């Protein structure tokens, strides 16, 4: 069997001890065996992956180095543009659309030697926390097929958790990488806004969206960010700096670091999740970190601000899907009727709900009362985080308030579903980095993720803390004979 981590696999392929073609066949065999149960993918590009692997093996045989991700099998969330390959956002309205270009992150993966194996399922247009909103059916959690994998990047999280891909990419607008990472027991990272190019990411909320990795290990996430990060002139919000150096930080430990415990963190997390968070604080303290109490008073308003800002931006971004330039078109007697018929048939209920909320919030007479106030709250949250980071180097919170929940448990109550992102949304509003690290199990033996938050471009220290948590968890598992 090929190495499971991207770092090990790339080293083996680059040395010639493992063939990329054999690796691809291993992953395709796993997909054939379990994909019918999990449904992580909207599309598996098996033939293209085989051709790509063969080209990598030829380069290795000729003495070339394919790159730091040589032969690493990657799954892409189906809202990342791939030239000539369907990109659906798990929506009927993009039926048949094949982008004429690759997203920047897709280009950078290719340049690093990665092999793309397919496009993963998601909540339609990345709007959801369970991957139940896909037009193509739900993705199931590999740990328990009766439960959700989280969302909106549930397919990408499940693909890694099920070993259908070495790593994957998702997008995070309000927690859509970190929450499914927690529920599926993998590492998930939302970088600093602007640290990874959004060019070629189909927009949901442009001031919030960010692309990041799902991996089995913290080191693999660091490697992925080093590959896909850095300035891109095609993205006007891209930070004009090279990608951060992260792998070199992983072994530095946490001695002397200040780990912030948010004293006024909003209630709502289950006891089993809070117990794992407490254990994470204890583990870091045992490694020499100092635990400090901080306050972020406006944290509790993040959810309400987000559900005005994000739908408002979605209302604007999704206006382009009108039956003229993209995908689905439902013919009607006149142009306005065609617009209405196309959108009614093409968008699902959750997308329609958010478009209507956003359009209402931006309408004359309501802009100042709703959207304007949400922007002010966004500023207050940023100010409160800035104050907290004067006293702490990073903060810890739950990544998700619960472990993976059963299908249908929250679908009839949108607010209950929205509360799944209560701990992840504030960092999107302020553009800071954050990541979920698997840290044991909770109720029903299901994974729990601890979220590490850091200030803008604070990824190096964030990864130091994440690596320490990962090491602590491995030591705990070794002492207990493999149990979490």
Active site residues: 77, 152, 176
167 pairs with which residues across the strands? 74
Q: Measured between alpha carbons, how far is residue 4 from residues 252, 313, 471 in Å?
A: 24, 39, 17
Cα–Cα distance for residue pair 274/261, rounded to 1 Å: 12
Contacts by residues 304-308 (CB-CB < 8 Å, ≥ 24 positions apart)? 304/374, 304/377, 305/374, 305/375, 305/377, 305/378, 305/381, 305/429, 306/174, 306/208, 306/374, 306/421, 306/425, 306/428, 306/429, 307/357, 307/418, 308/357, 308/358, 308/361, 308/370, 308/371, 308/373, 308/374
3-class DSSP state of 473: helix
Q: Are strands 211-215 and 187-190 parallel, antiparallel or unpaired?
A: antiparallel
397 pairs with which residues across the strands? 451
- Of all helices (H) and strands (E), which one includes residue 354? helix 349-362
Cβ–Cβ under 8 Å, residues 123 and 152: yes
Q: Are strands 394-398 and 41-44 parallel, antiparallel or unpaired?
A: unpaired
Q: Minimal CA–CA distance to 89: which of 350, 406, 428?
A: 350
Cα–Cα distance for residue pair 438/448, rounded to 1 Å: 6
CA 90 to chain centre: 16
Cα–Cα distance for residue pair 364/371, rounded to 1 Å: 11
The owner of tokens 């950078």 is 108
Tokens of 204: 């949901």
Tokens of 96: 């048949």
Cα–Cα distance for residue pair 151/141, rounded to 1 Å: 11
Cβ–Cβ under 8 Å, residues 295 and 384: yes
- Of all helices (H) and strands (E), which one includes residue 449? strand 447-453
Cα–Cα distance for residue pair 406/144, rounded to 1 Å: 9
Cβ–Cβ under 8 Å, residues 424 and 174: yes
406 pairs with which residues across the strands? 147
In the chain, count of helices (H) and strands (E)? 15, 11
What sign has the CA pseudo-torsion 440, 443, 445, 447? Answer: negative
CA 293 to chain centre: 28
């Amino acid at each position: 069997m090929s190495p499971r981590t991207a770092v090990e696999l790339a080293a083996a392929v680059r040395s010639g001890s493992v063939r990329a073609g054999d690796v691809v066949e291993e992953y395709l065999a796993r997909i054939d065996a379990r994909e019918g149960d999990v449904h992580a993918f909207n599309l598996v590009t098996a033939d293209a992956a085989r051709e790509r692997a063969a080209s990598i093996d030829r380069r290795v045989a000729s003495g070339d180095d394919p790159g730091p991700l040589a032969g690493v099998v990657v799954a892409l969330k189906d809202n990342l543009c791939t030239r000539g390959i369907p990109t659906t956002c798990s929506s009927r309205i993009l039926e048949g659309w094949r982008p004429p270009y690759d997203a920047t992150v897709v280009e950078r993966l290719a340049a690093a030697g990665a092999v793309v194996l397919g496009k993963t399922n998601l909540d339609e247009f990345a709007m959801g926390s369970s991957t139940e909103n896909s037009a193509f059916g739900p993705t199931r959690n590999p740990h328990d097929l009766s439960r959700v994998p989280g969302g909106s990047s549930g397919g990408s999280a499940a693909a890694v958790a099920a070993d259908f891909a070495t790593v994957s990419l998702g997008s995070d607008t309000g927690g859509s990488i970190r929450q499914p990472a927690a529920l599926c027991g993998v590492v998930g990272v939302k970088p600093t806004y602007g640290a990874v190019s959004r060019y070629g990411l189909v927009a949901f909320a442009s001031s919030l969206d960010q692309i990041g990795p799902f991996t089995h290990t913290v080191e693999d996430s660091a490697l992925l960010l080093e590959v896909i990060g850095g300035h891109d002139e095609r993205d006007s919000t891209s930070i004009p700096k090279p990608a951060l150096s992260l792998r070199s930080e992983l072994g530095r430990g946490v001695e002397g670091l200040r780990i912030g415990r948010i004293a006024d963190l909003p209630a709502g997390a289950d006891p089993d999740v809070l117990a794992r968070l407490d254990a994470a604080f204890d583990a870091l303290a045992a490694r020499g970190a100092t635990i400090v109490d901080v306050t972020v008073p406006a944290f509790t308003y993040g959810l309400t601000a987000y559900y005005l800002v994000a739908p408002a931006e979605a209302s604007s971004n999704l206006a382009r899907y009108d039956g003229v330039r993209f995908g689905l078109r439902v013919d009607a007697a006149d142009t306005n009727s065609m617009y209405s018929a196309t959108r009614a048939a093409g968008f699902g209920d959750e997308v329609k709900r958010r478009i209507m909320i956003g359009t209402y919030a931006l309408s004359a007479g309501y802009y100042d009362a709703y959207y304007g106030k949400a922007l002010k709250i966004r500023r207050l949250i940023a100010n409160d985080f800035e104050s907290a980071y004067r006293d702490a180097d990073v903060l810890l919170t739950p990544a998700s308030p619960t472990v993976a929940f059963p299908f249908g448990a929250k679908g009839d109550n949108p607010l209950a579903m929205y509360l799944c992102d209560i701990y992840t949304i504030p960092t999107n509003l302020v553009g800071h980095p954050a990541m979920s690290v698997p840290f044991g199990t909770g109720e029903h033996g299901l994974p729990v993720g601890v979220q590490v938050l850091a200030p803008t471009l604070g990824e190096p220290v964030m990864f130091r803390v994440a690596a320490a948590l990962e090491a602590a968890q491995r030591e705990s598992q070794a002492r207990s004979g493999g149990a979490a």
